Structure 1
Amino acid sequence: MAGLATSPFTANAATSSYAKEIAQKYILVDTHIDVPYRLEEAYDDVTQATEKGDFDHPRAVAGGLDAPFMSIYIPATLEKEGGGKALADRLIDRVEAMVGRAPDKFALAYSVADIKNNFKLNKISLPMGMENGTAIEGSLDNLAHFYQRGIRYITLAHSLSNHISDSSYSEDRPWQGLSPFGKKLITEMNNIGIMIDISHVSDQAFYQAVELSKVPVIASHSSLRYFTPGFERNMSDDMLLALKKNGGVVQINFGSSFVTEEANKYRDKVKSHVTQFMTDKGIADKKDAAAIAFEKAYKEKDPFPFASTADVVDHIDRAVKITGIDHVGIGSDYDGVGDSLPTGLKDVSTFPNLIQELLDRKYSEADIEKLMGANVLRVWQQVEDYAEKH
């Protein structure tokens, strides 16, 4: 995105003009932003400035964001209820409508070449990734359909195990990793040119996917388990080493509960205190007015412990230490983690704050370019090149 943005920039006072220049100079790719489902729940015109949410065009321009992957999010409950494919098509329609309303601001992107071309045209690319393979509905024809519609990565599962893969969140692990269809799907995704996203899957499924894939995989919005012990949704050090061997990238999630143990355990701590209060008072219904009042008072006394920009960069630091500079990137989860975003990184205008923290830690401009997007574009290009030959 050539030239510095003129729209308001939510920056820390210490953020330098150099950090802002870097944000504008190189292609900045964020592999997970939940705009389509946000609009499904409450419509907003993100081609203009919006009061709600974490993303809109002016803020994206201000932050230097060039290629936000629009997340085509499919709730895990639709695995049993049905309707996943229909919802996916509707959310893709929403992304296409964004471009249709503002073709001077946004452009669809189906390839790495599209990203680079749109960047030269000062347009924000809107590539798409599907969060939860439930929408495939067991059909390789549907895989081809979604490729034609622009899906370029698929998160194999979400918060519940599905017909493709076990989930990191689910106690139910029917497949002990990937299902027979899931294993076949890996091969077909390789052949058609869709990146395999291992965020959300169980450890077993991760290792099986890496073993089966002929090309690098991505973790589109995951952070490191080292900082959140016991939180399987994040990646362990051994998984990072396997990802490095595979050639893939981990895209760091900004959500505070992904970043610090204190934030990660906060919800359980609140629930424990509320449960104890209800037991002491003989209250059975959590919707009881006294229980609700107690929870509100507790949160006011002990508010949610937001992570910081520095905490996020701690994850980047450790991932780089383990995998090297070529295997780390950004997958913020903006519009997907509610109000849990770290101080200094509250919306898409704030990427220069992240860049400033990297500069303060002596990352070179070339290294920052890799973290901003060059690494994941390298993986995407490898996936494209493999598919062309198969």
Structure 2
Amino acid sequence: MKSFTLSALTAALALSALCSAQSAHAIEVSKKAKDIAQNTIIVDSHIDVPFRINKRWEDVTVATEKGDFDYPRAKKGGLNAPFMSIYLPATLEAPGKDYGVQLAHQLIDSVEAIANRAPDKFAVAYSTSDVEEHFKKGLISLPMGMENGSPVAGSLDNLKMFYDRGIRYITLAHSLSNHISDSSYDLRRNWKGLSPFGKELVVEMNKLGVMVDISHVSDAAFYQAMEITKAPAIASHSSLRKFTPGFERNMDDKMIKALAKNGGVIQINFGSSFVSQETRDWQDDLSKKFEAAGVKWGDPKANEIAEAHRKAKPYPFASLETVLDHIDHVKNLVGIDYVGIGSDFDGVGDSLPRDLKDVSYFPHLVQGLLNRGYTEQEIKKILSGNFMRVWKKVEAVAASM
């Protein structure tokens, strides 16, 4: 989930999104692209359904009015292994808070409820073999990753508890530094990377079979995690700093090379502000207007400022081609084996690119890759092969430790 998915920006985007949808020339999707999407395991390593339905409940086992994910759209897109993000706001680790432990359990409960409510459609997945077995049965797997390790709350016993409940990756920090790691968004670098407990936690995650997710962490924390981990790591929903210079939340070429050397995988985030510098500039200009007016994201006055900003310059949505540029760059830099999909659906509001507006659009992504000359084998690696390789290796390392 993006650090700032707030009402002012969402309000400003609503009309822009409608205009964009009406004016965009939809990509023509071939039967081959549809067949690849339907006949391949598609792992999307980051979808924020649990937090979305916790804020405003909808039954995603049937068609929904809101959001980017529900069963009919997932089936249409061929998505069959979406990681449900157990997202905990960074502020839950503030003094007097419970580190998000209670909310984490509630969100995990909500994923289990989806599967229990529609066992003919969904099943919680705890392993790579579960994903493969569910695929054979025509079920959509629901593996889980924890976005923000705060609920570990300094306890390796808690880590084991969450593993037993199904958590298979942990994003070490989110938008603020926590007791595990510094955050790329937080100017305060409390630990100069990982905390002493964070370093211990990475080792224990290896032992249990919990993937180490370096999305959101500071550069220093990333390199320390690379030094410590005995298993491949993931970036569950990150994009490339090459296209967004200065945006530490994304990964630079040196980091991508280090992740590839580790055997890991970067899962490309679809959010417009993650893949397009033009979009980042638009949002930065809006933030400056908020600062000048003395308002914050979410304030009533902020909505007015955001709407005026949008009228002066419509929101510059990224496109499918922009996302493909990020995939191309990883392939050209380190090879096809180290890139996958971490869309951040339901986590980036209305800022999704043209032709990638919800989970029904995966055939568009496949067609875009075909149009750029990717082979079917390469496309299947991007859709799931690379991530499943990493996850299997993490399972094997845990078994050996």
Shorter-chain TM-score bucket reads over 0.9
**Correspondent of 2:107 among 64, 83, 91:** 91
Cα distance change on mapping 1:360 and 1:78 into 2, 3 Å = same
2:64 counterpart of 1:50: yes
- 1:208 corresponds to which residue? 224
Q: Secondary structure at the match of 1:363?
A: coil
Cα distance change on mapping 1:111 and 1:294 into 2, 3 Å = closer
Counterparts of 2:82 and 2:375 in 1: how far apart (Å)? 23
- 2:186 corresponds to which residue? 170
- 1:361 corresponds to which residue? 372
- Contact 2:345 2:359 (8 Å CA) reproduced: yes
2:383 counterpart of 1:372: yes
**Correspondent of 2:237 among 214, 221, 224:** 221
2:253 counterpart of 1:242: no
- Cα deviations across residues 138-177 of structure 1 (Å, max 9, x unaligned)? 0000000001000000000000000000000001111000
Q: Secondary structure at the match of 1:225?
A: coil
Residue 25 of structure 1 and its aligned partner are, at CA, apart by: 1.2
The percentage of counterpart residues that share the same residue type is: 60
Correspondence 1:224-303 to 2 at 5 A: 224-273=240-289, 278=293, 293=304, 295-303=306-314
- 1:16 corresponds to which residue? 30
2:132 counterpart of 1:132: no
- Contact 2:272 2:317 (8 Å CA) reproduced: yes
Task: Report the number of matched residues.
Answer: 375
Counterparts of 1:291 and 1:328 in 2: how far apart (Å)? 37
- Cα deviations across residues 287-334 of structure 1 (Å, max 9, x unaligned)? 998876454233112111000000000000001111210000000000
Shifted more, 359-368 versus 77-86: the winner is: 77-86
- Contact 2:27 2:355 (8 Å CA) reproduced: no
**Correspondent of 2:80 among 58, 62, 66:** 66
- Cα deviations across residues 196-252 of structure 1 (Å, max 9, x unaligned)? 000000000000001100010000000000000000000000000000100000000
Counterparts of 2:130 and 2:300 in 1: how far apart (Å)? 54
2:352 counterpart of 1:336: no
Q: Secondary structure at the match of 1:305?
A: coil
Q: Secondary structure at the match of 1:90?
A: helix
Q: Secondary structure at the match of 1:125?
A: strand
Correspondence 1:294-333 to 2 at 5 A: 295-333=306-344
Cα distance change on mapping 1:210 and 1:18 into 2, 3 Å = same
2:396 counterpart of 1:385: yes
Cα distance change on mapping 1:292 and 1:25 into 2, 3 Å = closer
Q: Give structure 2 stretches of 5+ with no counterpart.
A: 1-24
**Correspondent of 1:108 among 100, 103, 124:** 124
Counterparts of 2:26 and 2:74 in 1: how far apart (Å)? 17
Counterparts of 1:76 and 1:343 in 2: how far apart (Å)? 30
Q: Give structure 1 stretches of 5+ with no counterpart.
A: 1-10, 279-283
Q: Secondary structure at the match of 1:196?
A: strand
Which amino acid counterpart does residue 112 of structure 1 have in structure 2?
T
- Contact 2:123 2:134 (8 Å CA) reproduced: yes
Counterparts of 1:130 and 1:289 in 2: how far apart (Å)? 31
Counterparts of 1:136 and 1:90 in 2: how far apart (Å)? 15
**Correspondent of 1:184 among 200, 204, 219:** 200
- Cα deviations across residues 323-379 of structure 1 (Å, max 9, x unaligned)? 210000000000000010000000000011111110000000000000000100000
Please give the TM-score of this superposition, normalised by the length of structure 2. Answer: 0.91
Counterparts of 1:178 and 1:291 in 2: how far apart (Å)? 35
User: What is the aligned-residue RMSD (CA, Å)?
Assistant: 1.8
Residue 51 of structure 1 and its aligned partner are, at CA, apart by: 1.0
2:44 counterpart of 1:30: yes
Which amino acid counterpart does residue 71 of structure 1 have in structure 2?
S
Q: Secondary structure at the match of 1:375?
A: helix
Cα distance change on mapping 1:170 and 1:289 into 2, 3 Å = closer
Shifted more, 267-276 versus 62-71: the winner is: 267-276
Which amino acid counterpart does residue 121 of structure 2 have in structure 1?
K
- 2:134 corresponds to which residue? 118
Which amino acid counterpart does residue 30 of structure 2 have in structure 1?
S
Please give the TM-score of this superposition, normalised by the length of structure 1. Answer: 0.93
- Cα deviations across residues 83-138 of structure 1 (Å, max 9, x unaligned)? 41111111000000000000000001000000000000000000000000001000
Counterparts of 1:163 and 1:265 in 2: how far apart (Å)? 32
Counterparts of 1:255 and 1:179 in 2: how far apart (Å)? 30
The one of the two structures with greater contact order (alpha-carbon pairs below 8 A, sep at least 6) is: 2
Cα distance change on mapping 1:313 and 1:45 into 2, 3 Å = same
Cα distance change on mapping 1:180 and 1:368 into 2, 3 Å = same
- 1:41 corresponds to which residue? 55
Which amino acid counterpart does residue 132 of structure 2 have in structure 1?
K
Cα distance change on mapping 1:289 and 1:350 into 2, 3 Å = closer
